[in-house]
Amino acid sequence: MPEMPNVGMSMTRLYVPECAKAGEELWLEGERAHYLSRVLRIRSGDSLVVFDGTGGEYETTVGAISRQRVQLLPGEFSPRDIESPLAIRLIQGISRGDRMDIVVQKATELGVWRISPVFTEFSIVRLDPDRQEKKIYHWQRIAQSACEQCGRNVVPQIDSPQPLSALLEAPPVGTCIALVPGGASGLADLPRVEAPLTLLIGPEGGLSEMECARAIEQGFRTLSLGPRILRTETAALAALTVLQVRFGDLSG
């Protein structure tokens, strides 16, 4: 029988935006200290990986632990980088419930570098300024947690929500794709891309005819994912996977 690979347990990874330099102690308090000591049950002397979201990481030793504080002792800095060579910006129509949360989480795992939530003609979700600020913070936390899980050391940028019409006033550069059902050509037929790549996906009701026309005027190419109509979160994950397989780092 062929020898099975030794998978093992991966080391705990923790996003710490105020990451200290090697040899400088770092104290965590509040929610993060509780997470390490009470949820993960980290003990003094244990090792974990700490990253600040801008690139690279520190292998870190846990020092003193109290009920409200945890001491971290970062070691040498490692420039470890597993970012995709394909820079993808996802412009995602905001959808109801946890669908947007799923998109943010999985898009982070699939290597996007920027997520731009937008309101469209068919958007059901509407956010007042207070709720919008809370949503941005919520999505940022999801992206940070996804980076902890998948091994990324760069946290994707999450923009403030805005109307799609406003975003299209200053269209992105590079290859721009808008997913629409029943398109004449499919995403898998795309011959090549010019970085950066921008992917536009509508909410539950999709993009309106006017929005599609405006996107085309601004340089977007309309493509489909096949004969079936996919839910908005399914379309995002399927499209990102196809793009990363063909032009990114999922091809092995």
CATH number of 13-78: 2.40.240.20
Its sign, for the CA torsion 18, 20, 24, 25, is: positive
- Tell me which residue has tokens 């923009």: 159
Q: How far apart are CA 158 and CA 156, in angstroms?
A: 6
Q: What is the pLDDT of residue 11?
A: 83
> Looking at residue 252, what is its pLDDT?
63
CA-closest candidate to residue 100, choices 147, 138, 128: 138
At residue 221, φ and ψ (nearest 5 deg) are -105, 125
Nearest to 104 by CA among 56, 132, 151, 136: 136
Q: What is the pTM of this model?
A: 0.91
pLDDT digits (tens, 9 = 90+) for 101-153: 999 999 999 999 999 999 999 887 777 778 888 999 999 999 999 999 999 99
Q: Mean of the per-residue pLDDT values for the chain?
A: 90
- Separation CA 113–CA 150 (nearest Å): 14
Tell me, yes or no, if the two domains 13-78 and 88-247 fold the same way.
no
Pick one of 3.20.20.70, 3.30.300.30, 3.40.1280.10, 3.40.50.150 as the CATH number of 88-247: 3.40.1280.10
SS (H, E, C) 70-133: EEEEEEEEECCCCCCCCCEEEEEECCCCCHHHHHHHHHHHCCCCEEEEEECCCCCCCCCHHHHH
Mean pLDDT in order along the chain per 10 residues (252 residues): 48 86 86 87 93 94 91 94 96 91 98 96 80 91 96 96 94 91 81 92 92 95 90 95 94 70
Domain locations in the chain as residue ranges: 13-78, 88-247
- Expressed in angstroms, the distance from the first to the final Cα of the chain is 24
Evaluate whether 65 touches 42 at the Cβ level (below 8 Å): yes
